[in-house]
Amino acid sequence: MQQAFAGAEGVFVMIPPNFAPTPGFVETRTTLAALRPALLAARPTKAVFLSSVGGQQPSGIGLITSTHLLEQEMNTLGIPSAFLRAGWFMENSLWDVAAAREQGTLFSYLQPLDHTFPLVGTKDIGRAAAEVLLQDWKGNRFIEVAGPRRYSPLDMAAAFSHSLHKKMEAVVVPRDKWVSNFVAQGMPADRTAARVEMVDGFNSGWIDFGAPGTEHFTGTTELQTVIDQLVARA
């Protein structure tokens, strides 16, 4: 189910993530079909939605299609709305902790290894949402939410090296191994396409910040801070 949080007579809304959507994003469309009339009935003074970097793109974004559909459905509500286009979550590195600890290796789907990507910590996303909810505006706003700087897979490996006190190697995962790896992780074989397309979009630069007409929020949470936290709890 979707989540909504009230604040300053406004609401913060996020739809549930789905890493293995059915073709056509049926689950997302069903959620949005229920969410739109609920918001129209409630008529909050403002609404802040969690979207994603690349949410403005009509195609070639894979899993991010769910937030593109969110933006398309909710930008005509007639309620002052802000869409937070957050970068790649730093917390996604949780999936890398085991291999980093056990093998001293960061297996990277983001590539090339020295290319920097738009990352952000969830703490900064929450702060952005809280600050925007306290503001007043008319119409729609689109806000890119970033960390204090961009990070590469080499930066991620260095952060793990610092946290684990051991030498870390970053290794590119060959693209022809992606699907089999995703299936081994538990993803249905016929639902891997959206995840592959999303990672391709990041690697090609199709999914990135810098969309015309957007505002920009810069967070303060460093990648090292998040990696330290993930290593400590995993």
pLDDT digits (tens, 9 = 90+) for 52-80: 999 999 999 999 999 999 999 999 999 99
CA 51/CA 143 separation, integer angstroms: 9
Burial class (CB in 10 A: 0-12, 13-18, 19+), 219: buried
Task: Dig out the tokens for 13 from the structure.
Answer: 């809304």
pLDDT of residue 1: 37
As a whole number, the mean pLDDT across the chain is 95
pLDDT of residue 170: 98
CA 125/CA 12 separation, integer angstroms: 11
Q: Structure pTM?
A: 0.93
- Which residue is it, tokens 């290319």? 115
Query: How does pLDDT run across 144-193, given as a tens digit for each residue?
Result: 999 999 999 999 999 999 999 999 999 999 999 999 999 999 999 999 99
Is the distance from CB of 68 to CB of 84 less than 8 angstroms?
Answer: no
Least confidently predicted of 3-17, 20-34, 90-104, 143-157? 3-17
Domains along the chain? 3-233 (3.40.50.720)
pLDDT of residue 36: 96
Q: In this structure, what DSSP letter does residue 136 have? A: -
Q: Using a pLDDT cut of 90, give the percent of the chain over it.
A: 95
pLDDT of residue 7: 45
**pLDDT over threshold 60, residue 8:** no
Helix (H, G, I), strand (E, B) or coil at 79: coil
Q: Please give the radius of gyration of the chain, using alpha carbons only, rounded to the nearest integer.
A: 18
- Kindly give, in sequence order, each residue whose CB lies less than 8 Å from that of residue 178, ignoring residues fewer than 6 positions away: 109, 192, 195, 196, 199
Is the distance from CB of 141 to CB of 15 less than 8 angstroms?
Answer: no
Q: In this structure, what DSSP letter does residue 109 have? A: S
First-to-last alpha carbon distance for the chain, in angstroms, is: 27
pLDDT of residue 45: 95
**pLDDT over threshold 70, residue 3:** no
Is the distance from CB of 227 to CB of 94 less than 8 angstroms?
Answer: no
Is the distance from CB of 202 to CB of 88 less than 8 angstroms?
Answer: yes
Model confidence band, residue 9 (pLDDT cutoffs 50, 70, 90): confident
